[in-house]
Amino acid sequence: MYSAMILEGKRALVTGGAVRIGKAITEALQAAGAEVVVHYCASADEARALSPHTVQANLQSLEECSELIDRAGPLDILINNASLFTKDRLAGSTPERVQREFSVNLFAPMELTRQFAAQAEQGAVINLLDRRIRANDASCLPYSISKKGLEELTKLSALELAPKIRVNAVAPGPILPPPGNSGEDFRELAGNIPLDRLPTPANIAEAVLFLLQADSITGQIIYVDGGQHLLGNGV
């Protein structure tokens, strides 16, 4: 018989855990009593300001990715948050650009999940998706395909790793403006949101904590997007 995961004393790895949504997830886990290993690629100062436990790796490198779980472990929780986003249409989607995006957004989470499962007696994995998995956004083709692939990985790994490990996902909508954009400009760019308010990084972190503690849920996706996924391409 399984009981709800108690986060107090658990050890978690959050990829891309030093900034933006990753930072909110890191802080929420710490507030719940978990020990968080913060993975970063270039944000060393931000990572070390958040946690005494940090690990650097370039997730585009198969070798560095393959060593990450051993360097961070032993682990009870894996949060695949790190991602790469570029605005590439089909004409600009060269094999090199597609490979780079898939390496971070799909291949790294797959390898980390595989290695996590090999070292965990029980545990939980959360993948960060995107509300675009319910739309067809041709302006960011490699990104959209990689996140749709991660959605399928979530479901398939949930089946394969049950009952030992639960695998779920959170699909954010527009959360934070990219560097250089004001909040007002970003709200307009965010498009139609049925609830008429932007989700926050804290909202994403709340959904992550819920899924970690929901012991009867696996293979599920929670959309934190103000209802945008219901509109498909009508955003």
pLDDT category, 176, cuts 50, 70, 90? confident
Question: What are the residue numbers of the active site?
Answer: 143
pLDDT digits (tens, 9 = 90+) for 77-87: 999 999 999 88
Assess whether pLDDT exceeds 90 at residue 1: no
Fold of domain 11-224: Rossmann fold (3.40.50)
Which residue bears the tokens 């998706």?
129
For residues 75 and 11, give the distance between their C-alpha atoms in angstroms, rounded to a whole number.
5
Delimit the domains of the chain by residue range.
Answer: 11-224
The pLDDT score that the predictor gives to residue 92 is 87
Higher pLDDT, 180 or 87: 87
pLDDT digits (tens, 9 = 90+) for 44-62: 999 999 999 999 999 999 9
Assess whether pLDDT exceeds 70 at residue 139: yes
pLDDT digits (tens, 9 = 90+) for 200-230: 999 999 999 999 999 999 999 999 999 999 9
For residues 55 and 206, give the distance between their C-alpha atoms in angstroms, rounded to a whole number.
24
DSSP for 192-215? --TTSS---HHHHHHHHHHHHH-T
Burial level of 136, CB count in 10 A (0-12/13-18/19+)?
A: exposed
Tokens of 27: 């802080």
Q: Residue 110 is which amino acid?
A: M
For residues 34 and 11, give the distance between their C-alpha atoms in angstroms, rounded to a whole number.
6
Least Cα distance to 145 among 112, 100, 102 occurs for: 102
The pLDDT score that the predictor gives to residue 19 is 96
Average pLDDT, the chain: 92
- Beta-bridge partner residues of 128: 170
